[in-house]
Structure 1
Amino acid sequence: MSFTPPFKYISAPELAELVKKTDTKEVQVIDVRDEDFTGGNIKGAVNSPSENFTQKVTELVKEYNEVPKVVFHCALSQVRGPKAARKELDPDSKQEVLVLRDGFTGFQQLYRDDPALVEQFNKMYHD
């Protein structure tokens, strides 16, 4: 018996395409990094630190329940991002819950020079 997580992964290029679609609110990015949020983020991302995420998850679900895709990530999306994605989804929701493969680290390596995709980038925190 294998374990199938209740979410799928999304690649950085797939997410970049969704973030650039400014005419619709098709995606909400939830960044669960803690103090490592400093130094840049995906444009429009909401920071909900993992250290108090459990207390805020119900509020987040209500706030973004009309958004078709919710993408969670942390620095590498190996622990905090996937853990947050598992807690978020209402079983009756039509919302698609995704985790950003390679997290912000992978995303910023590709797009840190694109202000349409990355805000407040500070190279000092990422090399």
Structure 2
Amino acid sequence: MTSITIATLPRMTREVLSNILLSSNASKVAIIDVRDSDHVGGHIFSSTWIPSTTLEAHIPELIRTLKDKEQVVFHCALSQQRGPSAALKYARERASVLGFEEGAKQKVYVLDGGFLRWQEKYGTDERLTKAYEKDIWLEY
């Protein structure tokens, strides 16, 4: 077991993530969206949707396919439960498979405020958000 905990997982702000996505460093980051049925209404550009209910089965594949990414950012709707839990599972499994030192070379983050906060600022920005449906988010 590693010393990675929910409390030690760093948060990434929406501003930092948007700056990365709009920069030449966009290819160095992976965004994993672990919302379930609440995935409707839009998603962050270039994100990969893996519902939290299926994440466990996808972690080995993620470790392989994301091996060259410098940063991996997990999020759900609010990034209070599913996003942090998914990030923790991924980080621990990566450290277990690759060894703690090698696993730590990739930074794993949780998107602060999740998609709810993201869409408030970037929902209508088509460079950053895809398939956005503002009406779905008006009630939030």
Same fold (TM over 0.5): yes
Counterpart of 2:78? 76
Structure 1 unpaired stretches of 5+: none
Counterpart of 1:35? 37
For the residues of structure 2 that align with 1:54 and 1:4, how far apart are their CA atoms? Answer: 17
Matching residue within 2, 20, 23 for 1:21: 23
For the residues of structure 2 that align with 1:19 and 1:56, how far apart are their CA atoms? Answer: 24
Q: How many residues align?
A: 125
For the residues of structure 2 that align with 1:65 and 1:104, how far apart are their CA atoms? Answer: 24
Deviation of 1:26 after TM superposition, in Å, equals 1.5
Q: Deviations over 1:71-122 (max 9, x none)?
A: 0000000000000000112223210000000000000000111111000001
**Is the aligned partner of 1:97 residue 2:108?**
yes
**Is the aligned partner of 1:106 residue 2:108?**
no
Relative to the length of structure 1, the TM-score reads 0.92
Matching residue within 3, 6, 9 for 1:7: 9
Q: Which has the larger radius of gyration?
A: 2
Counterpart of 1:64? 66
Over aligned residues, Cα RMSD in angstroms? 1.4
Structure 2 unpaired stretches of 5+: 96-101
Q: Which moved more, 1:31-40 or 1:18-27?
A: 18-27
* Secondary structure of residue in 1 paired with 2:27: coil
For the residues of structure 2 that align with 1:100 and 1:51, how far apart are their CA atoms? Answer: 19
For the residues of structure 1 that align with 2:32 and 2:126, how far apart are their CA atoms? Answer: 18
